[in-house]
């Protein structure tokens, strides 16, 4: 019997997953020829909550198996495997509830998937969404059904596996130890020579498909390498949870011999290796930062300060003194234009006043009205007439107001 496991925190700061396995193939201890016991548990409730709950689940399973072995002396035990699995789950559930009360943590719980294995059969108990697979001739088949919203939709055929991996409620479970997980769901699976049993937490199954699992096992040289490769695959696929994989193979060499040759790749293509490496968030961030620093250094070295306009061919860069001189010259030119314009306006006003002095009083009506109509509202001359109320003078001259005082004022 070959047993191997790997568990990583993934993108999280701490690992709330736990696992336990026991090789029982060293002696004929059970009538049913049990050769191994394996379990994976995924905790819920954060640091010192979920981590404690999953450890309690695995420790309870370990203590139960050790107690069975203590009962074995010179005689075989006829083990009711399904009943044993239910007792493990019930004891784990009670232990977690007791610790929840002691720590006063209302949201502490854990998933559970555990199995007794023989060369021809697997008895599996599970609560929650941690899964069990059978890998047979290069194909992975899911044995358990998740106790979750998405798991129920998958079982009903409403969702495909690809849709389930991206479903917004993929992490919402309906049963767990410490909540309503006092009774496990028991499944049995027939095993053929060369089959591999795989247990994993949802940090793996939500991002790695069954097909990808089978391909990863097919290309691995050992169970240990396969377990590590699967957790790495989950991490490179942007999992958002802890990742745990546990493998049990009665005959690993037989499993490898039965894998179709089309699934075996002695070397991953370079582009695929780069994609896997690039998809890891931490390495991707460091690579982007490094590329940015190198680009800035090259810019400063070969092109000067990137925050100053680049040099045009054949034109020298403008110094600070030259820039100030140019701006002063432009200001002086603007002021000169304003002065010239003011002089022109004054000159026009003088010419107009001189024209008025030269005309006779009897001609003022003929001269004043055209000038007013021409200049009223147009520039400085029109505004001067309006400001002095000269329109009344025009009206007086035209005879609309015939008082002698106004006519004399208009004549002046």
Closest residue by Cα to residue 24 from 117, 111, 99, 98:
117
Higher pLDDT, 352 or 235: 235
Q: Tokens in use for 93?
A: 């559930």
**pLDDT of res. 411:** 52
For the cut 80, the answer to whether the pLDDT of residue 58 exceeds it is: yes
Tens digits of per-residue pLDDT, 68-124?
888 776 566 678 899 999 999 999 999 999 999 888 877 889 999 999 999 999 999
Higher pLDDT, 356 or 88: 88
Alpha carbon distance 181, 248 (integer Å): 25
Higher pLDDT, 19 or 383: 19
Q: Is 319 helix (H, G, I), strand (E, B) or coil?
A: coil
- With a pLDDT cut of 90, the percent of the chain lying above it is 41
Give residue 399's pLDDT band: very low, low, confident or very high (50, 70, 90).
very low
Higher pLDDT, 378 or 218: 218
Give residue 154's pLDDT band: very low, low, confident or very high (50, 70, 90).
confident
In the predicted model, what is the mean pLDDT of residues 246-271?
77
**pLDDT of res. 107:** 80
Tell me the HSE value of 76 on the side-chain side, using a 13 A CA sphere.
12
**pLDDT of res. 268:** 54
> Rounded to the nearest 10 degrees, what angle do helices 320-358 and 379-387 cross at?
50
For the cut 50, the answer to whether the pLDDT of residue 371 exceeds it is: yes
Name residue, tokens 């690579």: 287
Q: Identify how many contiguous H helices and E strands the chain contains and give both numbers.
A: 15, 11
For the cut 80, the answer to whether the pLDDT of residue 185 exceeds it is: yes
Whether CATH 3.60.40.10 fits 2-267: yes
Q: What stretches of 137-184 adopt beta strand conformation (E)?
A: 139-142
pLDDT, averaged across the chain: 78
**pLDDT of res. 289:** 72
Alpha carbon distance 165, 161 (integer Å): 6
In the predicted model, what is the mean pLDDT of residues 21-28?
83
Alpha carbon distance 306, 268 (integer Å): 41
Domain ranges of the chain: 2-267, 280-311, 320-411
Give residue 342's pLDDT band: very low, low, confident or very high (50, 70, 90).
confident
When computed from its CA atoms, the radius of gyration of the chain, rounded to whole angstroms, is 46
Closest residue by Cα to residue 111 from 18, 204, 247:
18
Name residue, tokens 């108990």: 125
Question: How many Cβ atoms are within 10 Å of 75's Cβ, its own excluded?
Answer: 9
Angle, CA 53 vertex, CA 48 and CA 59 arms, to 5°? 120
Q: Please, which residues bridge with residue 6 across strands? A: 245
For the cut 70, the answer to whether the pLDDT of residue 326 exceeds it is: yes
Tens digits of per-residue pLDDT, 264-314?
554 455 555 565 555 555 555 666 677 777 877 777 776 655 555 445 444
Higher pLDDT, 223 or 364: 223
**pLDDT of res. 330:** 78
Q: Is 112 helix (H, G, I), strand (E, B) or coil?
A: strand
């Amino acid at each position: 019997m070959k047993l191997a496991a790997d568990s990583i925190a993934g993108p999280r700061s701490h690992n709330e997953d736990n696992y336990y396995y026991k090789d029982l193939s060293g002696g004929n201890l059970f009538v049913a020829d049990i050769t191994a016991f394996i379990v994976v548990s995924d905790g819920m409730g954060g640091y010192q909550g979920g981590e404690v709950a999953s450890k309690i689940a695995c420790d309870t399973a370990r203590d139960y198996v050790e107690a069975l072995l203590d009962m074995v002396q010179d005689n075989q035990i006829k083990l009711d495997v399904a009943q044993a699995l239910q007792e493990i789950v019930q004891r784990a559930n009670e232990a977690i509830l007791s610790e929840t009360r002691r720590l006063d943590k209302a949201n502490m719980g854990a998933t559970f998937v555990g199995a007794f294995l023989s060369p021809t059969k697997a008895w599996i108990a599970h609560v929650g969404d941690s899964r069990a697979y059978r890998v047979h001739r290069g194909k992975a088949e899911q044995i358990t059904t998740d106790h979750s919203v998405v798991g129920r939709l998958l079982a009903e055929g409403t969702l495909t596996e690809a849709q389930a991996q991206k479903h917004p409620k993929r992490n919402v479970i309906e049963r767990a130890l410490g909540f309503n997980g006092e009774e496990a769901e028991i499944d049995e699976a027939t095993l053929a020579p060369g089959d591999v049993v795989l247990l994993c937490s949802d940090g793996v199954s939500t991002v790695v498909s069954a097909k990808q699992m089978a391909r990863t096992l097919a290309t691995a040289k050992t169970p240990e390498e396969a377990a590590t490769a699967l957790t790495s695959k989950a991490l490179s696929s942007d999992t958002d949870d802890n990742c745990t994989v546990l493998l049990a193979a009665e005959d690993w060499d037989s499993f490898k011999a039965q894998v179709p040759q089309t699934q075996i790749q002695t070397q991953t293509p370079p582009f695929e290796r780069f994609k896997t490496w690039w998809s890891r968030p931490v390495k991707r961030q460091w690579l982007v930062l490094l590329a940015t620093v190198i680009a800035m250094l090259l810019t400063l070295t070969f092109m000067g300060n990137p925050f100053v306009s680049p040099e045009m061919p054949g034109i020298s860069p403008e110094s600070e003194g030259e820039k100030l001189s140019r701006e002063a010259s432009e200001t002086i030119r603007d002021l000169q234009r304003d002065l010239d314009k003011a002089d022109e306006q004054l000159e026009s006003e003088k010419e107009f006043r001189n024209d008025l002095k030269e005309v006779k009083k009897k001609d003022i009506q003929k001269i004043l009205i055209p000038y007013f109509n021409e200049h009223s509202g147009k520039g400085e001359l029109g505004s001067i007439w309006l400001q002095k109320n000269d329109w009344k003078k025009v009206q007086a001259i035209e005879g609309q107001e015939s008082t002698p005082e106004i006519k004399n004022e208009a004549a002046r």
